[in-house]
A = this chain, B = another copy of it.
Amino acid sequence: MVPNCNPVGSNLKSGEYTLGRFDPVNGQNWNRAYHYNKDLISEFADKINPDMDISELKKEYRSRLRASIEERLNNEWGVGLAECLNLKLQLMALEADIVLDLHNGPVSTRHIYVPEYARESAKYFNIPHVILINKVFSGALDEATFCPWWCLTDSLMERFPGSEWDFGIEAFTVEMGSQEVIDFDAGKADSKGILSYLSYKKCFETPLQKPENITRYGVYLRDYKIMYSRFGGMVEYVAKPGQFIKKGELMAQVLNIDLLDDEQAISFVKAPCDLIPILHFPSASVLGGTQLYKCFTNYFEI
């Protein structure tokens, strides 16, 4: 099932380009209003004993999670547009053991957000750049999917030391490149990686695809850094997404069009440490304080 999580955003235009992930009315990110009820976890864990059947537990927990989302949806004071769309999508996602949130964004390499406990699964997508995230909820669908199960597992392992609990839930945000470029062939290549992962998870009777033999680089979320522009102007992005850049190398040059006759017209942006730029701002025109790049630092092979 492939629902479209922001039916509003994909049709909105303001200028020729796609507004994408922000509600133009109030700045709300369309993908950050999912539901997470922390209290529900310990309430539920309190009632569990270690001999219970895990599939029964899973069923029961799911129905609690569903009730919590539905209660929010039926809020007497109404629900915001982004939240309403998110909750309806979350109700669908709740039924699934595997949730893939397929995103497009600015100019970028393919990259994927992976919960640390599912690190092994990252090797089955054909995606070279992997961001490992912890059980912190900040509103996204992947977090909304795995946090309740991850936290429940931790809570149960604390209560019953030595016990093991595997609910078999995995969720990923898969970043598929620029929202302003459609390429049907690239789409086919992307789908092979997804089929490879699903084959690994035994979703098909016989595996459909094997993972490609590529090097995958991982980074912890805290080391996935935003580089802000210090200058406004017109930018040439010299460092391309996916390149290995050494500390001090040129990443971008910014032309200040008010100083065209001047030696000072061009500013140079250099790498503050060894890094891999993963994405850059999609426009050549930036203000001071624009997110120029997002970069892997302290990365490692996985």
Name A residues whose Cβ lies closer than 8 Å to a Cβ of B.
2, 4, 8, 10-20, 22-29, 76-85, 106, 178-184, 225-230, 232, 234-236, 253, 255, 257-258, 260, 272, 281-285, 287-292
In the complex, chain B residues whose CB is within 8 Å of the CB of A81 = 228, 287-290
- Tallying the copies of this chain within the complex gives 4
Query: How far does the Cβ of A74 sit from chain B's closest Cβ, in whole Å?
Result: 11
- Are A184 and B236 also in contact (CB < 8 A) when A18-B283, A81-B289, A228-B80 are? yes
Q: A182-B235, A226-B77, A257-B4 are in contact. Are A26 and B291 (CB under 8 A)?
A: yes
Residues of chain B contacted by A85 (CB below 8 angstroms): 289
* Structural contact, B284 and A182, CB atoms closer than 8 A: yes
Q: Is the Cβ of B26 less than 8 Å from the Cβ of A78?
A: no
Partner of A13, one of B25, B77, B229: B25
Instruction: List residues of chain B with CB within 8 A of the CB of A79.
Output: 228, 289
Among A13, A14, A29, chain B packs the most CB atoms within 10 A around the CB of: A13
Residues of B within 8 A of A291 (CB): 26, 80
Partner of A24, one of B15, B78, B83, B180: B15
A156 to B105, CA, bound (A): 47
A273 closest partner in B (C-beta): B76
Report how far A29 CA is from B22 CA in the complex, Å.
12
Give the docked Cα–Cα distance between A236 and B184 (Å): 7
List of B residues within 8 angstroms of A281 by Cβ: 16
Q: Assuming the A-B contacts A22-B26, A27-B28, A29-B27, are A285 and B78 also in contact, with contact meaning beta carbons closer than 8 angstroms in the complex?
A: no
| Smallest CB separation, A132 vs chain B (Å) | 20
Q: Given the complex of chains A and B, what is the CA–CA distance between A11 and B286 in angstroms?
A: 8
Q: Which of B4, B15, B183 contacts A25 (CB 8 A)?
A: B15
Q: Distance in Å from the Cβ of A261 to the closest Cβ of chain B?
A: 8
Q: Is the CB of A82 within 8 A of B289?
A: yes
A10 and B257 contact, CB distance less than 8 A: yes
B17–A282 contact, CB under 8 A?
Answer: yes
Known: A16-B17, A20-B15, A184-B236. A179 touches B78 (CB 8 A): no
Partner of A16, one of B76, B106, B235, B258: B106
Instruction: Tell me if A284 and B181 are in contact (CB < 8 A).
Output: yes
> Would you list 20 pairs from A and B whose C-beta atoms are within 8 A, ordered by A residue?
A10-B257, A13-B285, A13-B287, A14-B15, A14-B24, A15-B17, A16-B281, A17-B17, A26-B291, A27-B29, A77-B225, A77-B227, A77-B272, A78-B229, A79-B228, A80-B228, A80-B289, A81-B288, A84-B288, A181-B284
